[in-house]
Amino acid sequence: MNRLLLSLLLSLPLLLTAQSPYPAAVPDARLYAVFDSAYLQNIRRDNPALLLRWNFYLDNAFIISDFPAEKGNVSQYPAVKISDLRDLNILLLEKEQPLARDWQKPVFYHIEGTNKVLMYFSGKDFNRKFREWLAWNE
């Protein structure tokens, strides 16, 4: 009886971890440019859903596209400086420049020196996409 109880107690953490509703969360390397590594390890342990959300956010919160001439002048939007469009860390960009998002509608920024825009998806659309991704990856 004692052995059974001891075995059950020792295996309980393993069983609880195996029942996590989220896929394994490993910090994306780009997060280390924005957050302290100790903080990321704490989040990984204590709040894996937040870490998954940040990882997803890095590639799915926005798009970069050409601005169609028929839509007017691209300079009608606030400007943002992006040095390398192929290697964008959106969280670092948000930390360095005053960018804002909107819950209900997309937000556009003119990328300086280009005819391109950075378009944030609305917060509502981003949350929907994240929930769909979580459901797909369970």
Q: Tell me the residue type at 132.
A: E
Could you tell me if 31 and 55 are in contact, meaning their C-beta atoms sit under 8 angstroms apart? yes
Whether 55 is in a domain gets the answer yes
Residue-wise pLDDT tens digits, 90-109: 999 999 999 999 999 999 99
Residue 49 lies in a domain: yes
Q: Has residue 6 got a pLDDT over 70?
A: no
Question: pTM value?
Answer: 0.80
What is the per-residue pLDDT across 119-130, written as a single tens digit (0 to 9) for each? 999 999 999 999
Q: How confident is the model at residue 24 (pLDDT cuts 50, 70, 90)?
A: confident
Kind and range of the H or E run holding 109: strand 107-111
Beta strands 116-120 and 62-66 are: antiparallel
Give the pLDDT of residue 23: 64
| Residue 1 in domain | no
Q: Is residue 2 part of a domain?
A: no
The Cβ-side half-sphere exposure at 40, using a 13 Å CA radius, reads 17
Task: List, for residues 41-94, the tens digit of each pLDDT value.
Answer: 999 999 999 999 999 999 999 999 999 989 999 999 999 999 999 999 999 999
43 within domain boundaries: yes
Domain hosting 82: range is: 22-136
Domains: count for the chain: 1
Supply φ then ψ for residue 117, to 5 degrees.
-125, 150
